[in-house]
Structure 1
Amino acid sequence: MTPMKDSCASLWASRLRQNQGIRSLMEDLGQVTGHPEEILLGGGNPAHIREAEDIFTACFQSLASDPNLKALLGDYQAPIGNDRFRALAAEYLSPHLDANLRKDNIAFFNGSQNAYSFLLNIHSGKMIGGNFKKILLPIVPEYIGYADQSIEADVFLAKEPEVIPTGKHRFRYGFNKENFDLSNIGCVVMSRPTNPTGNILPLEDIQWIEERTKKNSIPLLIDLAYGNPFPNLIAAEEPITYKDGRTLSLSFSKIGLPGVRLGIVMANPETIEILSSYAAVGNLAVGNLGVYMMEFLFQKNILPELAKNVLRPFYEKKLELATSIFESEFKKYGVEYEIHDPMGGFFLWIRFPNLSISNHQLYHLCKDKRLFIVSGHYFFPGLNSDFSHTKECIRLTYCRKEEELARGAHILAEIVASHQAKSK
């Protein structure tokens, strides 16, 4: 293939060709060879859980024998989903989100990543009046997939979080309320639980933010890919509800269906209408499989019990096991480390305060040993200060098998120990 000349590429295309965190992460997943020594602790794949997969198999079997199969395979949906499915989702999700949703509040996309590529561009960049609006991330680190979504450059704005010690080798990030400035902000965006740290911003902090966004008519976007009502990996924290001024998004990926690519957006009708125009241009139509599976799962009210009785217990046990394994290896090799309190999701966010190399260099050293991790430097879009955590942290998934976690912990501890300064 002939390389694209700079003169033939837009500024946006040029930025897309640069090193992106989300592209690096997904290419690592896609380039896996199946070699027995590969240790896949980097990606966001959910675990394969037999009880969940049995339910999804039953769903597929039901769809395969349904007379509507020809419509599933042979007909387009509307850009954001047909009215029947949108009405079904509105009715089903209303009690779970303490709201009175209608179909005009619902849009379907090919995954919530796809939805955010539209949402972030709706609310940022050059506005009709000529002013330029930015996207505020109230707490970082934040999801790796947001950073390269915007068509306009330099649209993200963030500031250092509070770093709160919570115990030996433990900390968490807190929301920094100082100098909270909404000037020239088009939207405020957060994930809850936060990917990559598992942080769950307290409702009182969200309410504090919302008091200010509402005064300025600024939408608050909350990504619930790991949150309530499913997969509901939020431990004992209070759930999010739908309110006017909020845009919420749900995903089928983390219940165990990443290949289906279904994201659900709940927003005011005006936002939904704009999203429909975006979707028609960018996607033509949402895929059929996800919404047909949604109909099956919603009508049988499967997901709340699946989350409560299968997903949460499974991931809680995985978290306990993974934490024990990594801490044991770190102690054995004398590694200095801190782990962010993993309140939700299924990742460990680990800081190595005495690391003598950058986390990106650590990523490459691990990859040379067939250990895949994610460098933490990707998770701070819009942060312009010299915050040490941007170079000292990594993200790991704990969704893998015990033997794989153990081998990964051994390799990681060995490499970090050999690149650890005596003091800092």
Structure 2
Amino acid sequence: MAPMMDSPSSLWANRLRQNQGIRSLMEDLGQVTGHPDEILLGGGNPAHIPEAEAIFADCFRELASDPCLSALLGDYQAPIGNDRFRSLAAESLSPHLGARLTKDNIAFFNGSQNAYSYLLNIHSGKMKDGSFKKILLPIVPEYIGYADQSIEADAFLATKPEVIPTGNHRFRYGLNKTDFDLSEIGCVALSRPTNPTGNILSNADIEWMEEKTKKQNLPLFIDLAYGNPFPNLIGSEEPIHYKEGRTLSLSFSKIGLPGVRLGIVVSNPDTIETLSSYAAVGNLAVGNLGVYMMEILFRKDILTNLAKNVLRPFYDKKRELAVSIFESEFQKRGVEYEIHEPMGGFFLWIRFPKLSVTNHKLYHLCKDKRLFIVSGHYFFPGLNSDFSHTQDCIRLTYCRPEEELARGAHILSEIVASHQAKSK
């Protein structure tokens, strides 16, 4: 019998089968064994915070005793959510986003990642006039989940960021305004706080970009998964507001509900209408659990206090603890390191300037010791110039328990210390 041949597949399918950062990250999360020696510093799971989980448990109890339970379990939503939920979200979000929103500004998706797979492809690739438009990431490193969203190959463009020293073993990335070029661009996308670095572009920087994008009628997508109004992990920076030309995305994942897969898009009615068509084809309907929980949380105005009184204090404390633990281990073993100023979110972005192996090799060396990290080379889609940080940096979550952070810091420092070049 002749061997079976692989069926023909599209160029897009071939690209999807290649090594993807987001797939690697999520498979690491999903394939952990529960072994007591595993140290899970790679993934994006939020911390399990008892005060927050008690609130979510109350939501479940309320839903379980409500006559709406049969609709929750047995009825489809509209593709981007039923009108009453969208109206509630518009009313609840308006004061936080500085705009008078209506349901026509709101779309729900099964996570903001799902929404971005549509948004980015609407405005990139081959256009009706025959041109090819790209997605500009104005500052990299940028979110690992964007890189493989485009159906068309080579759809991302990024410029090398400014590297700004901010203190001993500290730096941050700055917006490169000199090389900001919109000539081939269909849209501009950024996360605030930026995943992976915790960088928070100032409102002044964003408004500077908008002066350029508005002249060419280009949309600006701002991913607020870690930002305002919830979980509001933005340090001392000003919140982002909605205005024409911006599309904002919010997520329930980082408040502690990644499992319900609810993302909220805030945009102009025309974009929302287009997204509804995409959602009907790609998803059929948004899931029910997230929007029903949202109704309770918004109706009782729970999220504002949760973010202010529980989430921000918790993550601020965890960040300070993690930095102290890792710096102590690095200095004990003579590791050369630089940490990006952790302004928001819940990750540390660490550079090892004398690393004698690539960050991808370092990832595998750590994984051999049951330490999970994320290699930084995945976070630079569209960067076409040499930049040492693409090979020197890693991302770590500091959401794990103190004992786990300490074991991870010990193993990481030992491995890096044994793979440091005398000069680089």
TM-score band, normalised by shorter chain: over 0.9
**Residue in 2 that maps onto 1:84:** 84
Contact residue 363 and residue 374 of structure 2 kept, 8 A: yes
Aligned to 2:362, the other structure's residue is in SS state: helix
**Residue in 2 that maps onto 1:220:** 220
Q: Distance in 1 between matches of 2:265 and 2:243?
A: 13
Contact residue 163 and residue 174 of structure 2 kept, 8 A: yes
- Pick which of 121-130 and 373-382 moved more: 121-130
**Residue in 1 that maps onto 2:204:** 204
Aligned to 2:186, the other structure's residue is in SS state: strand
Q: CA deviation at 1:179?
A: 2.7
Structure 2 residue 282 is the aligned partner of structure 1 residue 282: yes
**Residue in 2 that maps onto 1:419:** 419
Letter in structure 1 aligned against 2:208: W
Q: Distance in 2 between matches of 1:416 and 1:355?
A: 7
Q: CA deviation at 1:114?
A: 0.4
Q: Distance in 2 between matches of 1:147 and 1:95?
A: 33
Q: Distance in 1 between matches of 2:258 and 2:211?
A: 35
Q: CA deviation at 1:22?
A: 0.1
Structure 2 residue 376 is the aligned partner of structure 1 residue 376: yes
How many residue pairs get aligned? The number is: 422
Q: Distance in 2 between matches of 1:5 and 1:364?
A: 32
After superposition, the C-alpha distances for 1:210-242 in whole angstroms (9 at most, x for unaligned) are: 001001000000000000000000011000000
**Residue in 2 that maps onto 1:158:** 158
Aligned to 1:8, the other structure's residue is in SS state: coil
**Residue in 1 that maps onto 2:109:** 109
The Cα RMSD (Å) is 0.9
Contact residue 249 and residue 265 of structure 2 kept, 8 A: yes
Contact residue 253 and residue 259 of structure 2 kept, 8 A: yes
**Residue in 2 that maps onto 1:57:** 57
- The runs of 4+ residues in structure 1 deviating greater than 4 Å are 3-7
Q: Normalising to structure 1: TM-score of the pair?
A: 0.99
List aligned pairs for 1:321-340, cutoff 5 A. Answer: 321-340=321-340
**Residue in 1 that maps onto 2:267:** 267
List aligned pairs for 1:18-167, cutoff 5 A. Answer: 18-167=18-167
List aligned pairs for 1:293-332, cutoff 5 A. Answer: 293-332=293-332
In structure 1, the gaps of 5 or more residues are: none
**Residue in 2 that maps onto 1:14:** 14
Q: CA deviation at 1:8?
A: 1.1
After superposition, the C-alpha distances for 1:14-51 in whole angstroms (9 at most, x for unaligned) are: 00000000000000000000000000000000000000
Letter in structure 1 aligned against 2:174: G
Q: CA deviation at 1:7?
A: 5.5
Structure 2 residue 238 is the aligned partner of structure 1 residue 253: no
Q: Distance in 2 between matches of 1:173 and 1:401?
A: 28
Aligned to 1:171, the other structure's residue is in SS state: strand
Contact residue 51 and residue 310 of structure 2 kept, 8 A: yes
Q: Distance in 1 between matches of 2:369 and 2:181?
A: 45
Aligned to 2:258, the other structure's residue is in SS state: coil
Q: Distance in 1 between matches of 2:206 and 2:228?
A: 15
Contact residue 351 and residue 393 of structure 2 kept, 8 A: yes
Contact residue 159 and residue 179 of structure 2 kept, 8 A: no
Aligned to 2:412, the other structure's residue is in SS state: helix
Letter in structure 2 aligned against 1:351: R
Distance 1:310 1:211, change over 3 A: same
Q: CA deviation at 1:184?
A: 1.9
After superposition, the C-alpha distances for 1:258-313 in whole angstroms (9 at most, x for unaligned) are: 00000000011111011000000000000000000000000000001000000000
Aligned to 1:381, the other structure's residue is in SS state: coil
Contact residue 248 and residue 265 of structure 2 kept, 8 A: yes
- Pick which of 365-374 and 119-128 moved more: 119-128
Percent of pairs with identical residues: 84
After superposition, the C-alpha distances for 1:336-385 in whole angstroms (9 at most, x for unaligned) are: 00000000000000000000000000000000000000000000000011
Q: CA deviation at 1:320?
A: 0.6
Distance 1:7 1:73, change over 3 A: closer
Q: CA deviation at 1:118?
A: 0.6
Q: Normalising to structure 2: TM-score of the pair?
A: 0.99
Letter in structure 1 aligned against 2:291: V
Q: CA deviation at 1:5?
A: 5.5
Contact residue 165 and residue 172 of structure 1 kept, 8 A: yes
Letter in structure 1 aligned against 2:210: E
**Residue in 1 that maps onto 2:353:** 353
Q: CA deviation at 1:181?
A: 1.2
Letter in structure 2 aligned against 1:305: N
Q: Distance in 2 between matches of 1:391 and 1:6?
A: 35
Contact residue 6 and residue 14 of structure 1 kept, 8 A: no
Letter in structure 1 aligned against 2:157: L
In structure 2, the gaps of 5 or more residues are: none
**Residue in 1 that maps onto 2:403:** 403
